[in-house]
A and B are shown apart, each in its own frame.
Chain A
């Protein structure tokens, strides 16, 4: 059936859909070629309308083991062509069936490239996907109504409700503050041999310290959430007391706790091909990123203990900061596994901050 994506500035794009649907959200673009299941199940994308620039989506189907969480968090998917079949030995269902089970709409046959270029030039916009309403004015009215809804934190939804443990019982104890943690991150921490205690997003510094962890990891999750300010205040007392690692949104929270401001980019970094470089060197890494907010340089410079350890080579925004004194690292990118479940370099670096006795050092 016919479908439409309408943006808050009135620009609309025709598409098709197999299911009746209506949903809202900020329209974001991801330039990765593979990983649709991981993206839509990543709590960091909660409430977004996700557009894939790669035109062929669904080719290799879906399997539960690839999900970053138990839910599909995006409010809708936008693609050029939804594959009519899937082919991979691990696949257990089609993307279609996966989305049906999670009751999430996907629209296709949309000129995703034109949409991408449009958003690149216009900056962030809210949009509506609909198969029910095509009248431009009515669609805009709906968007306005959506925008006027009281702002609620998504953290309560994406985070665990109660503390739980996993990983090797005899491993070094690490606390994870779940701001929308991905199973990919958890898997890497497990690979490193840690014993993990996962705290809900609103856990207090005292609660965390109470579990006697060797360090704390603040996970990725939805950006610019109204609940993050509180989280930052909650963990502030831990700075300098415990080795800390903030990942993506978790990193922003750490920065906030230190008093660093955040700035919104016109066009977010969302994809798997972002180069970061170490200041003063020619060495860098290609990273996976999914953020539209970056640390403000001016407010960061005021904090003496903090050093910028990596910046984005394309636009020179800050991607990684570190304080040896405070034993903390914050990264804006997503430290994904390097392959074969190997932990990413930054997690290994973090594990070295923990001051573990030799032999209990995390294994690579």
Chain B
């Protein structure tokens, strides 16, 4: 049926900031949807608060709003734009929930907006636990026994009837947040009160545990004439009990019989029809008892999901694009399959390889967090790998994760050595068993230890409930490892010796050069030579949706060990772009944005783009972003193999974050042409000593510093430069193990921590400039012309990692003298480093002096948001510059100062790690960002806070407790709050300061000294905001408790005095006037100031 003509304007809601459970997969699906809508000629309006996305690029939709995602703001946008339809299925749970609440509050009806893709009835049926349960009963689909609790009491009754263990799932929560497994009454009570609190509708499903059952997922699509297709099945290696977002997943399912598969398909069709999705897709999760095949349904997501992004990338089937076309009334047979170029989307993809998804965790950032995995998702990113067998996919998957592991162990990085495993003592056995029994991020490696320690497959199955088929495959890898080890130290003329046949088998089973080098006791380069000599090289095979049945037009590639290479290197000029790999804290969607822009720029310049990446959530791994895509791990070996096939004129390493930068030296040494700023100059910027010389030469300032290896050296340096000092390891991402040390007593502990992370590199000690203002400058250069993209002023004082700090563009407190100094310093650095491409400089401003903290000769995290605020695509320009174009010719020669204000705020995953302190410091902890834009700073700031999920209050009670050095500033803030009508509660110390300033405050007792204390008040919902600045590096127990509770009860909080100031000013603005909405396109039409 042709597309619907009864509507013209479609509103799309994005998923907001990157958080655990909602990552860049929704940028991928949203971007595909935008393209699909415009292809069909619809006027598209997009709303998303996340500026780092491709979808919010001004060209993606007709009208783009970077505004907070809540009912209030969306209502305003709907009233202004008057869309005919709303497409809520591509923006994750956020968009789906918003659509539901817009319906509930009558907004959709009032403005005559139809929800397409999934009707509000369908959303309700899938998301409302009661309705869903009833629907499943009606079609005879079994569910685990359960009941819905609206109170703790009700939940306890249901739970005790069903019996332990129990699974708790709060309704309308993404990524299972607030859920968990209860093994006893006490745990049940705790989880219930937490879950009821977390759920926006205050409902928790209390459910019979199907722990240890198989978890099987299907991606299903249905169109308006009831054509239903299965995109793929997926099998979780971690059985039920681990959130699917944290599970290792394979596609297709490996251990289902045809009959079981058919039965699942039958259920999927029944379910998608019952839910009523008639123009879109759904992800359906089942549990299956491995002992008798009994099937229960776990949940249905009536929308694009993380799993559907994975299914898309695993099969080549663009689910988001097709779902969008179905949403506007087209049928599957009408939508072409662009990968084959011949067939339509009405078919079921079939694959001739094995796909492996593995998750990236960041427990090292939250050392106090529980590492055990459960039904609340904790992973921050994922990697996908493809192989011709499970073993190859597994090993490639592990090395795709970039956790410094290069396969299934045997890479020299194993915590438990072979020698220890030969004669394991009882203690070691216990440790291994525990690590296998309780799911955790290291379980995979412990499975190997278990196999090596002699545990049988059945014993490991009994402990882990991981299917024996997977375990047996792992065992084969361990056996092969032993076979390879027989050739250890058998050097012929110093070259390793190993039969070509065994080498081929090792490669076919995914062993990396690094693993082989470790097993053969030689170097990676020697293994590479051996490969060359034995002519063992990878073949590239296709992801073509059809297992080779058709000659695909637009496939993508993966490496394997086979007889025929199907790579299709073109004869055109081409450039390889190295992507950023799995999302992690410090490296995420911002870099993917830059990589995509590099591909777009290359296309515009008529150069073939070749993308290498392994993150299935991204736009960069979409089949039509680049000319050729290699779905491969980002390691030296894997990249070199691709370069040997493609022979590009150069490689772009500036855009993928730290991953490609870390590889730059090795690639350069291997003779690879790195485009842009020379690797010599990259080295000057990255090498501390050479960088210091540069700073001295340019007459710039740097905080005093020293490099040390030992505590004794550190002591001396710290005394020389004076406390406080900033301690940091070299070559790390996101400020890993960085600390501010105020006194010598604490130095030793942090030096130890830093030394562990730093490895053979020195530890850096800088003078810490207390209360300085930090500034980020993004700059672009072509070797001749250098132009500042943006100067961003941090809101929080120095000491908060720039990835976590809120920032304002343009700056809002810096005077013209300082700005002049900042500009001068930036241009001189850029000239001296002969920057070709992008550069980011971090400064600290103190006492009217400008100190250079750091220079990064690459795209920074702020490039996407700066590009959007100033309306200039910096990454695209940088790519063109790297190809030899000049900024003059590209028309960008002057810094742009917008007449409006944009404030970036960061979003943190603290709610996933209960009990973790929410204090900010030099180690980055945020997962995502939002942008607030308005005509004045206060409004922009408060928008950023609302967008970041803070429930900013307009009245009520505020609790204040601050560090001594903040007590001067707090008086003004408290006074203002009082004037705005808030009641003040305070700790005794803070209260006495306030009283001296004539601000009455109610004193609350310390937590252990009386009740009701602050915790009680928060629990009772009597506190609407908390201002608490930490009292020192080792926080007091009271503070930690308060700060972890604010997260639990989702109370707005701020931990810095400057943040508090900005928030209170924003609240004042909020009380005075209503927040308005304006599209990016409207902002860009305003006249900008230019600075020569």
Q: How far is the CA of A190 from the CA of B643 in the complex (A)?
A: 60
Interfacial residues of chain A within 30-55, with CB under 8 A of chain B in the complex = 31-35, 37-38, 53-55
For A275, give the chain B residue with the smallest CB separation: B346
Residues of B within 8 A of A286 (CB): 228-230, 346-348
Structural contact, B547 and A54, CB atoms closer than 8 A: yes
Q: Any chain B CB within 8 A of the CB of A331?
A: no
Q: How far is the CA of A338 from the CA of B469 in the complex (A)?
A: 27
Residues of B within 8 A of A117 (CB): 548, 564, 566
- A69 → chain B, closest Cβ, in Å? 15
Residues of B within 8 A of A14 (CB): 563
Q: How far is the CA of A32 from the CA of B225 in the complex (A)?
A: 26
Q: How far is the CA of A274 from the CA of B549 in the complex (A)?
A: 11
Structural contact, B468 and A342, CB atoms closer than 8 A: no
- B929 → chain A, closest Cβ, in Å? 40
Residues of B within 8 A of A116 (CB): 352, 547-549
Q: How far is the CA of A111 from the CA of B548 in the complex (A)?
A: 12
- B941 → chain A, closest Cβ, in Å? 51
Q: Any chain A CB within 8 A of the CB of B342?
A: yes
- B263 → chain A, closest Cβ, in Å? 5
Structural contact, A55 and B348, CB atoms closer than 8 A: no
User: Assuming A111-B562, A338-B262, is B389 touching A313 (CB within 8 A)?
Assistant: no
Interfacial residues of chain A within 53-83, with CB under 8 A of chain B in the complex = 53-56, 59-60, 63, 66, 80-81, 83
Structural contact, B227 and A284, CB atoms closer than 8 A: yes
Query: Mask for B226-257, Cβ within 8 A of A = 1, else 0?
Result: 11111000000000000000000000101111
Structural contact, B350 and A282, CB atoms closer than 8 A: no
Q: Any chain B CB within 8 A of the CB of A169?
A: no
Structural contact, B333 and A313, CB atoms closer than 8 A: yes
For B233, give the chain A residue with the smallest CB separation: A33
Q: Any chain B CB within 8 A of the CB of A162?
A: no
Q: How far is the CA of A272 from the CA of B264 in the complex (A)?
A: 15
Q: How far is the CA of A285 from the CA of B230 in the complex (A)?
A: 12
Q: How far is the CA of A285 from the CA of B227 in the complex (A)?
A: 7
Query: Mask for B535-563, Cβ within 8 A of A = 1, else 0?
Result: 00000010000111111000000000011
**Interface-side segment among A85-93, A293-301, A318-326, A352-360:** A85-93
Residues of A within 8 A of B292 (CB): 89
- B332 → chain A, closest Cβ, in Å? 8
Residues of B within 8 A of A281 (CB): 225
Q: How far is the CA of A345 from the CA of B346 in the complex (A)?
A: 19
Q: Any chain A CB within 8 A of the CB of B467?
A: yes
For B2, give the chain A residue with the smallest CB separation: A282
- A216 → chain B, closest Cβ, in Å? 27
Structural contact, B389 and A80, CB atoms closer than 8 A: yes
Q: Any chain B CB within 8 A of the CB of A277?
A: yes
Residues of A within 8 A of B226 (CB): 283
Structural contact, B549 and A271, CB atoms closer than 8 A: yes
User: Assuming A59-B469, A80-B389, A88-B257, is B352 touching A277 (CB within 8 A)?
Assistant: no
Residues of A within 8 A of B228 (CB): 286
Partner of A83, one of B223, B225, B469: B469
Structural contact, A339 and B331, CB atoms closer than 8 A: no
Structural contact, A90 and B257, CB atoms closer than 8 A: yes
Q: Any chain A CB within 8 A of the CB of B261?
A: yes
Residues of A within 8 A of B258 (CB): 34-35, 37-38, 66
Q: Any chain B CB within 8 A of the CB of A149?
A: no
Structural contact, B472 and A275, CB atoms closer than 8 A: no
Q: How far is the CA of A328 from the CA of B469 in the complex (A)?
A: 47
- B231 → chain A, closest Cβ, in Å? 11
Partner of B255, one of A55, A60, A274, A342: A60
Q: Any chain B CB within 8 A of the CB of A159?
A: no
Residues of B within 8 A of A38 (CB): 258
For A271, give the chain B residue with the smallest CB separation: B350
User: Assuming A284-B227, A286-B347, is B468 touching A87 (CB within 8 A)?
Assistant: yes
For A37, give the chain B residue with the smallest CB separation: B258
Q: Any chain A CB within 8 A of the CB of B354?
A: yes
Residues of B within 8 A of A32 (CB): 350
Structural contact, B347 and A313, CB atoms closer than 8 A: yes
For A13, give the chain B residue with the smallest CB separation: B563
Structural contact, A282 and B389, CB atoms closer than 8 A: no
Interfacial residues of chain A within 89-135, with CB under 8 A of chain B in the complex = 89-90, 111-114, 116-117, 120
Q: How far is the CA of A340 from the CA of B351 in the complex (A)?
A: 25
Q: How far is the CA of A14 from the CA of B564 in the complex (A)?
A: 12
User: Assuming A283-B227, A339-B266, is B261 touching A34 (CB within 8 A)?
Assistant: yes
Structural contact, B562 and A114, CB atoms closer than 8 A: yes
Q: How far is the CA of A33 from the CA of B218 in the complex (A)?
A: 14
User: Assuming A33-B351, A55-B352, A271-B549, is B388 touching A80 (CB within 8 A)?
Assistant: yes
Q: How far is the CA of A32 from the CA of B352 in the complex (A)?
A: 9
Q: Any chain B CB within 8 A of the CB of A84?
A: yes
Q: Any chain A CB within 8 A of the CB of B570?
A: no
Interfacial residues of chain B within 208-230, with CB under 8 A of chain A in the complex = 223, 225-230
Q: Any chain B CB within 8 A of the CB of A144?
A: no
Partner of A31, one of B227, B229, B549: B549
Q: How far is the CA of A283 from the CA of B457 in the complex (A)?
A: 48
- A7 → chain B, closest Cβ, in Å? 14
Q: Any chain B CB within 8 A of the CB of A337?
A: yes
- A121 → chain B, closest Cβ, in Å? 8
Q: How far is the CA of A313 from the CA of B472 in the complex (A)?
A: 41
Interfacial residues of chain A within 139-154, with CB under 8 A of chain B in the complex = none
Q: Any chain B CB within 8 A of the CB of A314?
A: yes
Residues of B within 8 A of A13 (CB): 563
Q: Any chain A CB within 8 A of the CB of B665?
A: no
- A250 → chain B, closest Cβ, in Å? 22
Partner of B1, one of A56, A282, A284: A282
Structural contact, A273 and B349, CB atoms closer than 8 A: yes
Interfacial residues of chain B within 313-332, with CB under 8 A of chain A in the complex = 331-332
Residues of A within 8 A of B546 (CB): 31
Q: Any chain B CB within 8 A of the CB of A336?
A: yes
- B564 → chain A, closest Cβ, in Å? 4
Residues of A within 8 A of B252 (CB): 33, 54
Structural contact, A113 and B1, CB atoms closer than 8 A: no
Residues of B within 8 A of A114 (CB): 562-564
User: Assuming A282-B227, A340-B263, is B254 touching A56 (CB within 8 A)?
Assistant: yes
Interfacial residues of chain B within 147-204, with CB under 8 A of chain A in the complex = none
Q: Any chain A CB within 8 A of the CB of B291?
A: yes
User: Assuming A80-B389, A83-B469, A111-B563, is B348 touching A273 (CB within 8 A)?
Assistant: yes
Residues of A within 8 A of B476 (CB): 84
Residues of B within 8 A of A (CB): 1, 223, 225-230, 252, 254-267, 269, 290-293, 331-334, 342-344, 346-354, 388-390, 457, 467-469, 472, 476, 541, 546-551, 562-564, 566
7 contacts between A and B (CB under 8 A): A31-B548, A55-B388, A114-B563, A282-B227, A284-B227, A286-B228, A313-B343
Smallest CB-CB A-B distances: 7 pairs: A339-B266, A35-B258, A282-B331, A273-B348, A87-B469, A53-B547, A85-B472
Known: A66-B258, A273-B347, A282-B332. 6 other contacts (CB 8 A): A54-B252, A87-B468, A113-B388, A114-B564, A116-B549, A277-B346
Residues of A within 8 A of B (CB): 13-14, 29, 31-35, 37-38, 53-56, 59-60, 63, 66, 80-81, 83-90, 111-114, 116-117, 120, 267, 271-275, 277, 281-286, 313-314, 336-340, 342
